[in-house]
A = this chain, B = another copy of it.
Amino acid sequence: MKDSPEYLQKRAFYDSLLTIYGRKPVLEALEDLSLPVHKLHLATSNRRDQLIARMEQLASERQIEVAHWDRKGLSRISKNARQDQGVALDLALPHYGTADRFLAEEQASYELLALDGITNPQNLGMIIRSACAGGIDAILLPRKGCAQIDPLVIKASTGTLFKTRILRCDSLAPTLEKFRSAGAEVCGLSSHAEETLSSVSGNKPTIFVLGNETRGVGESVARQCTRLVRIPMQNNVESLNVAVTAALISFRHQL
C-alpha cells in the first residue's frame, strides 16, 4: 500500500536519515551525545580493532542498533565503497527531507536557498548557520556537485543544521524545473546580472540559487532560473563569500 498512512510515515522517517561514513567521522558522531543517531552499520570484513570495539561499546551504551553486512551490503548503505572504511552511521535528522516531498506537501509561500556546486564544507556549514538565523524556510542541497553533510559541516553550522530544513535531491537543474512548474520564482545570483536583489518582491514562492565561488551558477542550472539578480557592491568589489551572500539574502527583510 504505497499511500497508506503507515507507509508514508515510514517513508518520511527514512527520508530524514543522513548516512555518514568513515571511521573517524562515525566515531566522532557516536561520541557526540547531541547527535540523534539511528543505526550503526559495520562490514563483517572489518578487522575487529580498537576503533571498531570502541564504536560497538558506544553503540551499546547509547542503545543504538548495530547492523552487520558483507562488504557489498555496506557499500550499498554508505554509497561510497572507496571511502567508507567498512563503517557507516545513520543520523535521524528531524528537519531533513526531500525536495519532492516538500513540493508535494507545501502550499503556503516560501523562500529557499538552492546550492549549486558549493564544495567547501566550511562554506556549507556557514550557509546553513546564516540561513537558519535569517529565517530561510529550507535549503535545497543536491547530491551532485555539492559538499555533503558530514561532521565538518555540522561543526561549521554550529549545531544549526539540526534546526534547519534541508531538502535533498539528486541533481539541481531538474528539481528547479519542478519548482518552476509549481509556480516558484527561481532567482540565480550572478554578479553580472542587471537586476539587483531588492527587485525581488517575495510575493510568490522564491528560490535563490547560489553558485560555486569561482565559477558561479552552472549553465544547466542557470537555464532553469526565471531571473538573475546581483547584490550591489561598492569599490568595484567583484564577489562576496557565498556564505555572506546567503546571509544577505536571508536577512534582507529584517535589517
Q: A198-B255, A255-B197, A255-B252 are in contact. Are A160 and B244 (CB under 8 A)?
A: no
Most buried by B among A126, A198, A252, A255: A255
**Count of chain A residues with Cβ under 8 Å from any Cβ of B?**
32
Task: Digitize A219-252: 1 where CB-to-B-CB distance is under 8 Å, 0 elsewhere.
Answer: 0000000000001111111111101100110011
How far, in Å, is A231 (CB) from chain B's closest CB?
7
Picked from B234, B241, B248, B252, the residue with its CB within 8 Å of the CB of A132 is B234
Q: Which chain B residues lie closer than 8 Å to A237 at the CB level?
A: 129, 132-133, 160, 163
Q: Which B residue sits closest to A135, measured CB to CB?
A: B234
| Cα-based distance from A126 to B158 in the complex (angstroms) | 18
Name 14 A/B residue pairs within 8 A (Cβ), A-sorted. A126-B241, A126-B244, A129-B237, A129-B240, A129-B241, A134-B233, A134-B234, A135-B235, A158-B238, A160-B237, A163-B237, A198-B255, A243-B244, A248-B251
Binding site for B on A (CB under 8 A): 126, 129-130, 132-135, 158, 160, 163-164, 197-198, 231-241, 243-244, 247-248, 251-252, 254-255
